[in-house]
Amino acid sequence: MSTYHKFYQDSIDNPISFWEEQAKAIQWFQFPSDILSQDEDELARWYKGGKLNTSYLALDYHVEQGRGNQVAIAYDSPVTETKKQFTYNELLEEVELVAGMLSALGVEKGDRVIIYMPMIPETVFAMLACARLGAVHSVVFGGFAARELAIRVDDAHPKVLLMASGGKEIDRIVPYKPIVDAALAEAQHEVEQVVVYQRDFVAAEMQTGRDLDWEDLRQQAKPMSYVELDATDPLYILYTSGTTGKPKGVMRDNGGHAVAMKFSMTHFYGIAPGEVYWAASDVGWVVGHSYIVYGPLIHGCTTVLFEGKPIKTPDPGTFWRIIEEYKVNVFFTAPTAFRAIRKEDPDGQFKKTYDTSSLRYQFLAGERCDVSTLTWLSDLLQVPIIDHWWQTESGWPMIGNMTGVELQAVKPGSAGQPICGYSFSIFNGQGQEMGPNEEGYLCIKYPLAPGALANLWGDTARFKSAYLEKFPGYYLSGDGAYKDEDGFIFITGRTDDVINVAGHRLSTAEMEEVVAAHPAVAECAVIGIADELKGQVPVGFVVLKAGVEQSEASLEIELIQMVRDKVGAVASFKRATIAQKLPKTRSGKILRKVMRYIADGKSFNTPSTIEDLSVLDQLRGLMEEQKIGQAFS
């Protein structure tokens, strides 16, 4: 049995002793008395009785250990032509002041704070300041529209909202204040105070009596020390798309999260304290929480905070420049970033002008990595290219290659093998376990490992119904998969109506809700179809109301704008076409999965419950005519 298999099997056979040992890797104020227990809702909780503070672990601890002069954050913003570095000493000072600023506004342990900010150091200060006070932060990605922000405000009930005046893209400025004002006007919950960080390229108009200037408050703030917290106290809420259109507030606790971050940096990503780790993502997503902010800083690494894109900043050599400039040891991003680079620079000419010899491992996740991209990248970088799989719900990897334990063989197309603490089964719809190479529902034995979601914010019933009820004793991942004879897991895609656009999970149900609101639309289906660059993109199929006459071109323009206004540009909704009919079951359910299979050129068994077989031929002809999907483009 290999080193990896022994280590992994110990975590499955002896979870309590295994995770007790891993908990010793972080500094507790009081070590937990109960490693694994159940709460009043019969949900698993890790490290009850433990006392700690996540901000202390990420900052004060390293200063105490003599790491104060090491760079903690390397901020690189090609879109604003700005570079800054903060040592652990400097980062601690900034976080203490922002914590003092929040405390002066009345923010205390348990209060919620929404952070609507881009990839700037102040966003990291805000997250760590909330953790310092025991306030629960909820970061909302700056690309989301007012309606999305309003939904999150009404769910989290924040006392304070922290925001920047705007973000900057390659070719445009995005003012945030109009979005925030519209969201707070729409929300039922009243936010007491909005703190605005003014960026020099876009000024936010302040609302008297509610809006406060970040710099003014910072000047008056008194540094705040950390609060001692229970391991089971919530650290943050992060919203992820749900199939009902209402996002799910994934709640992460302090204790299990800190142990999982430390464990994953050491044993999965194979990086040591003092080394340089870069996750090219956004703090609005789970990757940004775990591997731009908390994981690297808890582990004592230097983390790269990158505000930009892989191309046109100014060219497809940006990633290689950063690896050379900051001597990055481990890099993690989504495959879509490399597909964009490959499209612009297929022969890797820009790579040749930079020295990337510091790079030891290249990790990919957020969406399935196609074999072509993996092979291209492996040839280009000459280091192990490691695909892996996890979710907002897990907060850290569940399937992959544990490089810090033993580098395993890579099977192109597979996400890898199970990570410690996660025991996978693949079931059919009746709960029977599937054999090798048989596709089914990907499920994980409950309780999940430390660091995974403890619950959904304020909605235990939905947590149980969404994840735990379909297969009792197991967590339903929402993805389809199969295992091969060697135990490697291959992810085949979502089993619900959530799609993955460039690593961002988005609800097609939510987009359908917007499309259906158009006065010309009788019914619609929005499906995610395979896309070479972004993994998946949404396409709308609409049936017009009887007697309505509207050109397809004008309707498409209007629907695109509606989705952009209600969901945000991040949805990448750019195609809509008129269909005569949608394929349905006799009970009226639209066969979205069949539609996806047609667009992606996949074979499928025609459902016996289909109402009208001729509709499939009509749809296939429509896709071919419009060149929709990989099968016809």
Same domain, 533 and 614: yes
**Number of domains the chain is built from:** 2
Instruction: Answer yes or no: are the C-beta atoms of 112 and 154 closer than 8 Å.
Output: no
Identify the band that residue 474 occupies on the pLDDT scale cut at 50, 70 and 90.
Answer: very high
**pLDDT, tens only, 329-356:** 999 998 888 888 988 888 899 999 999 9
Q: How far apart are CA 487 and CA 523, in angstroms?
A: 43
Domain membership flag for residue 236: no
Residue 193: partners with Cβ closer than 8 Å, 6 or more residues away: 105, 159, 160, 161, 210, 211, 212
The answer on 506 and 475 residing in a single domain is: no
Q: With 70 as the cut, is the pLDDT of residue 44 above it?
A: yes
Instruction: Find the mean pLDDT for residues 473-492.
Output: 93
> What is the pLDDT at residue 495?
76
Q: Domain with 445 in it: what CATH number?
A: 2.30.38.10
pLDDT digits (tens, 9 = 90+) for 159-171: 999 999 999 988 8
Q: What is the mean pLDDT of residues 524-546?
A: 88
pLDDT bin (cut points 50, 70, 90) of residue 413 is confident
Place of tokens 């790079």: 359
Which neighbouring-strand residues pair with 507? Answer: 498
Expressed in angstroms, the distance from the first to the final Cα of the chain is 47
Of 169, 204, 214, the residue nearest 307 (C-alpha):
169
Binned at pLDDT 50, 70 and 90, residue 566 comes out as confident
Amino acid 303: pLDDT: 98
Q: Is residue 546 part of a domain?
A: yes
Q: Which amino acid would we find at residue 492?
A: T
**Contacts for 521 with CB less than 8 Å, ≥ 6 apart:** 515, 542, 543, 544, 545
Residue 307 belongs to some domain of the structure: no
Crossing angle of the two packed helices 552-566 and 508-516, in degrees rounded to 10: 120
Confidence check: pLDDT of 226 > 70: yes
Helix/strand/coil for 57: helix
In a domain, 126, yes or no: no
How confident is the model at residue 73, as a pLDDT?
98
Indicate whether 513 and 620 sit together in one domain. Answer: yes
311 assigned to some structural domain = no
108 occurs within a structural domain: no
Asked if the model's pLDDT at residue 134 lies above 90, the reply is yes
pLDDT at 609 over 80: no
Q: Of 611, 608, 540, give the one whose Cα is nearest residue 579.
A: 540
475 and 459 within one domain: yes
Q: What's the pLDDT score for residue 632?
A: 78
Residue 475 and residue 542 in one domain = no
Of 447, 463, 496, which residue is a domain's last?
Answer: 496
In DSSP notation, 412-444 reads TT--BEEPTT--EEEE-TTSPBP-TT--EEEEE
In terms of domains, do 514 and 425 share one? Answer: no
Which pLDDT score is estimated for 588? 61
Q: Looking at the structure, do residues 475 and 568 belong to the same domain, yes or no?
A: no
Q: How far apart (Å, rounded) are the C-alpha atoms in residues 94 and 82?
A: 18
Q: What is the pLDDT of residue 629?
A: 86
Antiparallel, parallel or unpaired: β 417-418 and 424-427? unpaired
Interior angle at CA 444, CA 440 and CA 446, nearest 5? 140
Q: Which domain holds residue 534?
A: 498-626
Query: Do 277 and 329 form a contact (C-beta atoms < 8 A)?
Result: yes
Alpha carbon distance 601, 623 (integer Å): 11
Last residue in a domain, options 496, 518, 544: 496
The verdict on 466 and 585 lying in the same domain is: no
User: Is 399 part of any domain?
Assistant: no
Gyration radius from the chain CA atoms: 24
| 3-state SS assignment for residue 110 | coil
Residues 457 and 530 in one domain: no
What pLDDT does 587 receive? 52
Say if residues 537 and 574 touch (Cβ distance below 8 Å): yes
Burial class (CB in 10 A: 0-12, 13-18, 19+), 219: exposed
Q: Write down the pLDDT at residue 80.
A: 96
Which CATH number is 579's domain given? 3.30.300.30
How is the beta sheet containing 276-279 ordered, strand by strand?
82-87, 71-77, 302-306, 276-279, 330-333, 361-364, 385-387
> Measured between alpha carbons, how far is 505 from 391 in angstroms, rounded to an integer?
9
Residue 465 sits in the same domain as residue 584: no
Q: 416: burial class by Cβ within 10 Å (0-12, 13-18, 19+)? A: buried
8 Å CB contact between 37 and 203: no
The answer to whether position 199 is within a domain reads: no
**Both structure tokens of 374:** 């993996």
pTM: 0.88
472 and 536 fall within a common domain: no
Nearest to 51 by CA among 253, 300, 278, 296: 253
Percentages (nearest 5) of helix, strand, coil residues in the chain: 35, 25, 40
* pLDDT reading at 363 higher than 90: yes
Q: How far apart are CA 316 and CA 353, in angstroms?
A: 12
Q: Between 258 and 480, name the one with better pLDDT.
A: 258
Q: What is the mean pLDDT of the chain?
A: 93
Q: 300-324 b/e with 16+ CB inside 10 Å = b? A: bbbbbbbbbbbbbbeebbbbbbbbb
Q: What is the spatial order of strands in the sheet that 136-139 belongs to?
A: 211-213, 193-197, 160-164, 112-116, 136-139, 234-240, 248-253, 455-456
Residues 527 and 611 in one domain: yes
SS3 at position 335? helix
Tokens 């209060």: give the residue. 111
Q: Which of 313, 350, 329 lies closest to 277 in space, CA to CA?
A: 329
Q: Which of 441, 473, 496 is the last residue of a domain?
A: 496
Of 515, 466, 499, 513, the residue nearest 596 (C-alpha): 499
